[in-house]
A and B are shown apart, each in its own frame.
Chain A
Amino acid sequence: MSTPARNTPSSERLTLGPLRAPLMFGGLGVGIVGLASAYFLAGDLRSFLSAYLVAFCFIVTISLGGLFWVTIMHLTRAGWGVCVRRLAEILAMATFPCLILFLPILLPVMTGSSASIYDWVDLKNLPERLQGFGDLLAHKEPFLNGPFFAIRALVYFAVWGGCAAFFLRGSRSQDESGDKSISLRMQAFSAPAMLLFAATLVFASFDWGMSLEPIFFSTIYPVYWFAGAAMSSICTMTLISFLLQRSGRLTDDITTEHYHDLGKLMFGFVFFWGYIAFSQYLLIWYANLPEETFWFEYRQQGGWATGSIILIVVHLALPFLAIMPRTLRRNKAYMAMAAIFLLGAHWYDHFWLIMPTTFRPTFGVTPADILCLVGVIGFYASAFALIAGDRKLIPAGDPRLYESLSYHNA
């Protein structure tokens, strides 16, 4: 560990301490400046919102992944990950601020504004590519309409926020009391929580991602979203652990073994994403039905063929090889770099999902895309600091903490 680590007073080692204020206000500042400059650079509201949606999906899937890991750790009575579970709990809790970040996407849908990025909002003014599909879209109207879209979104956020709050509050009260019955309660709730999580993630992915191309449908789409969510949240937990340790936090609590375990899961979900993406592509390519293939066709023209190959390389081929060796997975700095790289790949994955059809017929990344991402990350960091508060960053009262601390990968 670097020198500042040794200088951190032991009382501050388990909390954000003085890091909190700069993170909260700095993040807020970056958020405002980033999004404002992205808006001006984008030119019009619709192209800003498309870039914004990419950044939003990037962030919200990280939070959802956090919720998934918290829930599955309780569901499986996991011991290994107790030391990093609080980070996942905070990420999950950040679905609350994600609701605020969602408003710029929701409001144009609610008002039926022409700036809305969802073409199904106004069936009378369909863009050229959807001309002739009016009947099909009218068939979907009972599902794809502004009010129901908003109601569903509120239900998703209520479920995510509710579950996240339950786990974070339970875990924090255990910090003080060490009461193991709290673990039992959280374990009991984790099973229904997983059901709720799965149901909401499925429809959130249909609503926010798949319905951008309202005539496209793919039953594996939610699993694709989930694969990215699980991977990106593991990367975020790795990265946050590394950054916290570099600034002298949790130095004795998160060990190489945890990085190794997180690395294994990272590797597993890189592979799982590849499996799901390949399954979707192969089945659509093979059956060759125009009602499905057009979706991939948009991703193979106007330079997007290169864009698609880049996705395979950065999201699968390169990381698959790069984090396979065991020795590298036990190297904290290396894993932090891998996490940054994969988070970039995760952002690019959503960019590839969202942009090609209407927003960016010609492949290319603009400064507005990047500024949107930076801005949203700024807000997210600020939310992280706000939620973390001056409370402990590990579940200090968890009865399985010792098991997590003492495990060694043989």
Chain B
Amino acid sequence: MASTVDQLIDNSIEDPARRAPLVTGGLDYAGVTDVVSQVAESPKPPRIWYILLGISLLLLAMLGANIGHLIFTGVGVWGNRSPVFWGWPIVNFVFWVGIGHAGTLISAILFLFRQNWRTSINRAAEAMTIFAVVCALLFPGIHIGRVWAAYWLFPIPTEHLAMWPNFRSPLLWDVFAVSTYGTVSALFWFMGMVPDIATFRDRAKDPVRRFVYGLLSLGWTGSARAWHRYEVAYVILAALATPLVLSVHTIVSFDFAVSMLPGWHTTIFPPYFVAGAIFSGFAMVVTLLVPARELFGLKHLITIRHLENMNKVIVATGTMVGFAYGIEFFIAWYGGNANEGETFLNRAFGEYYWAYWTMVSCNVIAPQFFWFKKIRTNPWLMVIVCIFVNIGMWFERFVITVTSLARDFIPSSWGYFSPTPVDVMMLIGSFGLFFTLFLLFCRFLPVVAISEVKAVMPTGEHGEGESH
């Protein structure tokens, strides 16, 4: 029999002698199923959901219109001009790929590290990963100009195609890395959802719902054999996804770091990009889950403790990113390369100083507020900090991409990058795509991994069992 936990308990209080409960509010096993299922089963979602979806769809429509404009007119509608040929599109690409990393970290690495608190947040985080990858893939896809030839990105052997992607280019490695990442993440997400979709199927009263969820649940029976295979597959996918957490952003960092451009070529880039990606990804998870738990009544599953733990990861990774900025600056001086030194001074005090200091304030200073327990356990304050983090991480990619390109080796070709309205609308529109997908996910799929949460609930008669 499932046990209940005192409703009044504050599970963010630290007691080394016992593990804090991860489900509060007196929920038992059936209660967990009810809470998660009611999100999809309630006849009507909260009104705010419609409003948010409406805004997201509008932004999505704006994105679509801009993409149409771009395809019919050409990539000249962007602000990409000599010497900055990589402008906002690549900044947006790197930003969105980075956002995705938290999902994989939570679902794979935290699983291998036996972090039980991941169970309440992993499903939504994985969904976020996939939607972020969708947004990310959009930008290089439309950047190639002739989008109808986008499949040339892949090395597809054909006698009609006298072109073959350059295997020595990290841009091609990106194609492999991000598509592998997208595939494994989607598999992991979907496979993890099968038992919960089957729960939805079994509870469905409407035949259409029963049919659709039945189709998606792949004939899940819940037998011991099915569970056994599920768990084996889960470990294997987690182990496969773990190196992907490192590899994807490592290869994205190679896009810059293999070159010999000052400010781009530095060996710390791979781990520093990965840390930054996890940093921004967690900030996005917090930004999404704080409103979601309010909106859908998930406060007893996604508790303050879960949010607090994520905020701790944010301050840790944010500090790593800050360290990397510091090391880069130190080595730019220590290395004694005049171009490198000049590039870094230019970043901080040159014409893009505003972008640099926005980045430092948002990425290094903002997360330091999470040293205070009051701030990291207050849902709305943490959302404010996390939004700053996301702004900062977008600016980081802007600073890296644009400042180095704007001042290349020949002073006569130096220039200043200015985005066009299309650039701006596409960035905002990509959020429309992201939020549309996320809002639909919240409404129609299990937002919390029901079966996994139950596995970390206490099982003893008095709720005193072990929680691992």
Q: Cα distance A112–B122 when bound, in Å? A: 58
The answer to whether the Cβ of B260 comes within 8 Å of any Cβ in the partner chain is: yes
Q: Cα distance A75–B266 when bound, in Å? A: 30
Identify A400's interface contact among B16, B267, B337, CB under 8 A.
Answer: B16
Q: Cα distance A283–B246 when bound, in Å? A: 16
Q: Cα distance A136–B337 when bound, in Å? A: 9
Identify B331's interface contact among A77, A219, A275, CB under 8 A.
Answer: A219
Identify B336's interface contact among A79, A136, A271, A276, CB under 8 A.
Answer: A136
Identify which of B35-43, B189-197, B250-258 touches chain A.
B250-258
Contacts of A280 on B, CB cut-off 8 Å? 267
Contacts of A282 on B, CB cut-off 8 Å? 254, 258
Contacts of B114 on A, CB cut-off 8 Å? 80
Contact A220 B268 (CB under 8 A): yes
Chain A, residues 257-289, CB within 8 Å of chain B (1/0): the string is 000000010000001000110011011101111
Contact A223 B271 (CB under 8 A): yes
Contacts of A287 on B, CB cut-off 8 Å? 257-260, 265
Chain B residue nearest in CB terms to A178: B17
Chain A, residues 125-153, CB within 8 Å of chain B (1/0): the string is 00000000000100110010000000000
Q: Cα distance A223–B271 when bound, in Å? A: 8
Contacts of B17 on A, CB cut-off 8 Å? 180, 399-400
Contacts of A194 on B, CB cut-off 8 Å? 316
Closest chain A CB from B332 CB (angstroms): 9
Contact A283 B260 (CB under 8 A): no
The answer to whether the Cβ of A187 comes within 8 Å of any Cβ in the partner chain is: yes
Closest chain A CB from B368 CB (angstroms): 11
Chain B residue nearest in CB terms to A74: B16
User: Are A184 and B16 also in contact (CB < 8 A) when A223-B268, A279-B267, A284-B267 are?
Assistant: yes
Contact A198 B323 (CB under 8 A): yes
Chain B residue nearest in CB terms to A289: B260
Closest chain B CB from A156 CB (angstroms): 16
User: Are A289 and B336 also in contact (CB < 8 A) when A183-B16, A282-B254 are?
Assistant: no
Q: Cα distance A183–B17 when bound, in Å? A: 9
Identify A220's interface contact among B15, B243, B267, B319, CB under 8 A.
Answer: B267
Chain A residue nearest in CB terms to B467: A403
Contacts of B319 on A, CB cut-off 8 Å? 195
Using C-beta atoms within 8 Å of the partner chain, give the interface range for chain B: 35 or more
**Chain A contacts with B in 266-321, Cβ cutoff 8 A:** 271, 275-276, 279-280, 282-284, 286-289, 291
Contact B260 A399 (CB under 8 A): no
The answer to whether the Cβ of B466 comes within 8 Å of any Cβ in the partner chain is: yes
Identify B246's interface contact among A187, A198, A275, CB under 8 A.
Answer: A275
Contact A289 B265 (CB under 8 A): yes
Contact B257 A283 (CB under 8 A): yes
Chain A residue nearest in CB terms to B246: A275
Contacts of A217 on B, CB cut-off 8 Å? 331, 334-335
Chain A, residues 28-39, CB within 8 Å of chain B (1/0): the string is 000000000000
Most B Cβ at <10 Å: residue of A206, A219, A287? A219
Chain A residue nearest in CB terms to B115: A76
Closest chain B CB from A144 CB (angstroms): 9
Chain A, residues 42-67, CB within 8 Å of chain B (1/0): the string is 00000000000000000000000000
Contact B334 A403 (CB under 8 A): no
The answer to whether the Cβ of A334 comes within 8 Å of any Cβ in the partner chain is: no
Chain A, residues 206-226, CB within 8 Å of chain B (1/0): the string is 100000000101111111000
Contacts of B19 on A, CB cut-off 8 Å? 79, 403
Q: Cα distance A287–B266 when bound, in Å? A: 10
Contact A143 B334 (CB under 8 A): yes
Contacts of A403 on B, CB cut-off 8 Å? 19, 466, 468
> Which A residues contact B (CB, under 8 angstroms)?
77, 79-80, 136, 139-140, 143, 180, 183-184, 187, 191, 194-195, 198-199, 202, 206, 215, 217-223, 264, 271, 275-276, 279-280, 282-284, 286-289, 291, 398-400, 403, 406-407
With A287-B258, A398-B16 known, 7 other A-B pairs at CB within 8 A are A183-B16, A191-B371, A198-B320, A217-B331, A275-B246, A283-B270, A284-B267
> Which B residues contact A (CB, under 8 angstroms)?
14-17, 19, 112, 114, 243, 246, 250, 254, 257-260, 265-271, 316, 319-320, 323-324, 327-328, 331, 334-337, 371, 466, 468
